[in-house]
Chains A and B, each alone.
Chain A
Amino acid sequence: MSIFEYNGSALVAMVGKNCFAIASDRRLGVNLQTVATDFQRIFKIHDKLYIGLSGLATDAQTMYQRLVFRHKLYQLREERDMKPQTFASLVSALLYEKRFGPYFCQPVIAGLGDDDVPFICTMDCLGAKELAKDFVVSGTASESLYGACESMYKPNMEPEELFETISQALLSSVDRDCLSGWGGHVLLVTPTEVQERTLKGRMD
């Protein structure tokens, strides 16, 4: 069994019209046993920048702590928040530093950049960035998520429609993956507000 399948995870981020949504499942498992159904995978870096970390949960938490540390240092030095593109480069560098003994996590970064232009990107566990204009996926359910997002995604969706689409893509994909699911957690960020919702899903 791959190290990525130890805890199980599903993450997806989508771009809408001047907004973005990032969603994750809520299961934390140890191989095939479920240990928690309220596990947080999406973390806030600042008001308009979120990072979701899939893969080994311990590495995800360690990565998050290191990133928050670096971002706080940046805020002290620069007296402003990091732009999403800069943050993505930071995450990539931190991951590549461990090239020969990597962190087993795959980040999904989503943020609103200058002029509230949404930015999403994902990386493999070594930090190879993939900038997408539509959606990015990560986790054990990634293969189903690719399929679901390819068919359900439409460009320039308004926030309400984006929320429905990302939720349906997440829920239908985790239903086809044993290791993820047990509900969903969706964050929808527009220039004026952040909407955080928990979804009702199959608990199996």
Chain B
Amino acid sequence: MARFAADAPTRGGFSFDLCQRNEMLLKKGNQLPTFRKTGTTIVGLVFEDGVILGADTRATEGPIVADKNCEKIHYMAPNIYCCGAGTAADTEAVTDMVSSQLQLHRYATGRESRVITALTLLKSHLFSYQGHVSAALVLGGVDITGPHLHTVYPHGSTDTLPFATMGSGSLAAMAVFESKFREGLTRDEGIKLVSEAICSGIFNDLGSGSNVDVCVITRGQTEYLRNHQLPNPRTYVSSRGYNFLKGHTEVLSTKITPLKSKVEAAAEVDAMEE
């Protein structure tokens, strides 16, 4: 009975069942696998009307590019978005979790979510796991109190800044921001500066690459410009491509199973007899 209970949908949170077995495997000389990381350049800046967030789109697994066009700007609330760097599973899980908590909070209070709420939820979760949940985030949004931009580190510390960069490409992006940022940028100037900072990360940092994603958040409106810039098109594209003739591959056995189309049984309602 206890074994069945362990497989039934659990109550949430982490399960440490396999830790002992994994320790044993480590001792026997097997190395732990590398997890998919988002090498990343993520940036945010505050402009005259709100906040602009930017991110590159490369996901790496060790030295290999696992995803050439992944989404690093995660939805938290209609007026709050969060860019994530670090272990991909951690950034996705933590932003999804806080997004759900914010939604429940909106239902309970009947008000628009505040950026500081998201910030507190994120930092308390990350601190309680003492940095083992490896998520470095740039959180930005516009609420009733104005535009806000914060950075959250894996151990749970936060900063509130007018412009911020995180990830392996953060130095490249920060160089651009430090030389060109000023208060009160217009929307177009802000988007151009964010794109420039991300491109700086894409071209100079090996862990970042592919395209530029931008998200512009203003009072009452959010624009998610997915693949705003594509500075890395495929270089060698053969127009002919590979053409394998039918029957080229040697097949040992074939089994074809027709799929029965599922038909909805019309509910026949018999009139009740009086």
Chain A interface residues toward B at CB < 8 A: 1-4, 6, 47-48, 55, 66, 69-70, 73, 92, 95-104, 123-130, 132, 142-143, 146, 151-152, 154, 160-161, 163-165, 167-168, 171, 183, 191-200
Contact = CB atoms under 8 A, between A and B. Distances in A.
A198 B245 CA distance: 18
B244 A98 contact: no
Contacts of B65: 146
A100 B87 contact: no
Contact of B251 (A123, A126, A132, A200): A200
B88 A101 contact: no
Interface in B219-274: 238, 241-242, 244-246, 248-259, 261
A132 B67 contact: yes
B132 A100 contact: yes
A130 B245 CA distance: 31
Contact of A194 (B64, B249, B259): B259
18 contacts: A1-B30, A3-B30, A3-B31, A48-B259, A97-B14, A101-B17, A101-B19, A123-B89, A125-B33, A126-B36, A126-B87, A126-B89, A128-B59, A151-B238, A152-B242, A164-B249, A183-B252, A195-B255
Interface-central residue, B16, B67, B249, by most chain A CB under 10 Å: B249
B128 interface: no
B49 interface: no
Contact of B258 (A66, A70, A146, A193): A193
Contacts of A199: 249-252
Contact of B259 (A124, A151, A192): A192
B58 to A, nearest CB: 12
Nearest to B65: A146
Given A47-B259, A165-B244, A2 B89 contact: no
A180 to B, nearest CB: 16
Contacts of B32: 2-3
A98 B16 CA distance: 6
B241 A154 contact: yes
Interface string B64-90: 111100100000000000000001111
A57 to B, nearest CB: 14
Contacts, number: 148
Contacts of A165: 242, 244
Contacts of B196: none
B145 interface: no
B244 A3 contact: no
A24 B171 CA distance: 42
A3 B132 CA distance: 21
Nearest to A55: B33
A163 B16 CA distance: 41
A188 to B, nearest CB: 9
Contacts of A2: 30-33
B23 to A, nearest CB: 8
Given A97-B14, A164-B246, A168-B244, 11 more contacts: A3-B32, A6-B30, A99-B89, A100-B132, A101-B17, A128-B92, A129-B92, A154-B241, A163-B249, A191-B259, A192-B259
A70 B248 CA distance: 40
Given A4-B33, A104-B33, A128-B87, A195 B251 contact: no
Contact of B244 (A129, A164, A191, A196): A164
A98 B64 contact: no
B124 interface: no
